[in-house]
Amino acid sequence: MKPVEAIADYGDLCGECPTWSPRDQVLYWSDISGRKLYRYAWPARTHEVHHEGVEVSGIANHASGGLVIVNSEGIWLWKADGKLHLVVDTVEGRKCALNDCIADPEGRLFTGSCFFDPNSDDYDLGFLLRVEKDGTAQIVDEGIHLANGLGFSPDCSTLYFADSAARIIYAYDYRKDDGAIRNRRVFARIPGDQGIPDGLTVDAEGFVWSAQWFGGCIVRYDPDGTEQQRIVIPASQSSSLTFGGQDLTDIFVTSASLLDALSLAPTNYRSDGGAVGGPLFHLNLGICGKPDYEARLQVDLT
C-alpha cells in the first residue's frame, strides 16, 4: 500500500466536504471555521483558495454547473458566476442550520441539521431534510444529535447517515421514485474508546467508508456493518473522505486543526499526543469509488 500523503496544507481549522467533480476533474473541499472553499485541479496537481468569506459545511455538484452548498444559514445554489442564491433557510418553522449533504439519483438533496452544543446536554435535536427539485423541503426524520456524512449504496436501495454525537451510522431503506426513506436501523455503532463517525462515502462494491474524528483513521465497513479495514491517517481529527481521480481510485481525506467537541472524545484521547490535523491527505488502495449524483434543484433565481 502506498503511504498516506499530505498533498495540500492550508492549516484548515475544520477541513471538510471533499467533493469530486468528474466533469472538471477537480476536487473541492472547505474549511468550515476558516470560511474558505478550495479547488484542487488533480491532473495538474495544482490547488488554490477558490473563494473566501462563505461558510461551507456541505457540497454537492449541480447538473447545470456550479455547486449546491449547505451551512448554518440554509441551502444555497452557488452559480458559476460566484453568486449565492438561497434555496431554503427554514422548514416547518425550524431553522436550517445544516451540516453535510448529498444529492440523490433524481437530483433531490438530503441534508441534516445540527444544533449540537458540546458544552451542554440541553440543546435542540436536529432533523434530516429532503429538498425536492422544485426547492420545496420536508423533514423526513428527527431526533438527530450531530448530523454528518451521507451516502447511497450502489443499487440505491439504502441511504447511510452518521450521527456523530450518538456514535452511530444509520441505514435507511430508500425509494428512488419519490425519495422516501423508512426503517431507520443501526448499521454500525462506534465504541466509546474509538473516534466518532464523521464524513462518509460508499465505494463501488457497497462498502461504507467513515472518517473517525478523534480516531485518526478511516474505516471501511462491509455491507453488513462489520469493520473490514482500518487505515491510519496522521491527523487525529480526520473529518471526511471521498473518492476521485480519473478512475475513482484516489481517496482524499480532510482534517481539522482546531480542537472541537472534546466532550465526545474517547476517554483515552490526548489532544497533545500528536498531529491534530489541518492538511488534505491522499492515498490510493486500488479500490474503486462510485460517482456522486448531481443535484438538479430548479428554483427561481430572480
Which residues are known catalytic residues? 198
User: Which residues have C-beta within 8 Å of that of residue 85, sequence separation ≥ 6?
Assistant: 76, 77, 78, 79, 299, 301
- CB contact at 8 A, 62 and 296: yes
Among 139, 147, 86, which Cα is nearest to 113's?
147
Which residues are paired to 84 by β-bridges?
Answer: 78
Q: How many CA atoms lie within 13 A of 10 on its CB side?
A: 24
How far the first Cα of the chain sits from its last, in Å, is: 51
Partnered with residue 60 across adjacent β-strands are 68
Q: Which residues are registered as beta bridge partners of 144?
A: 126
The contacts of residue 81 (CB under 8 Å, 6+ apart) are none
Half-sphere exposure of 241 (CA within 13 A, CB side): 35
Q: How far is CA 247 from the centre of its chain?
A: 21
Phi, psi (5° rounding) for residue 171? -125, 140
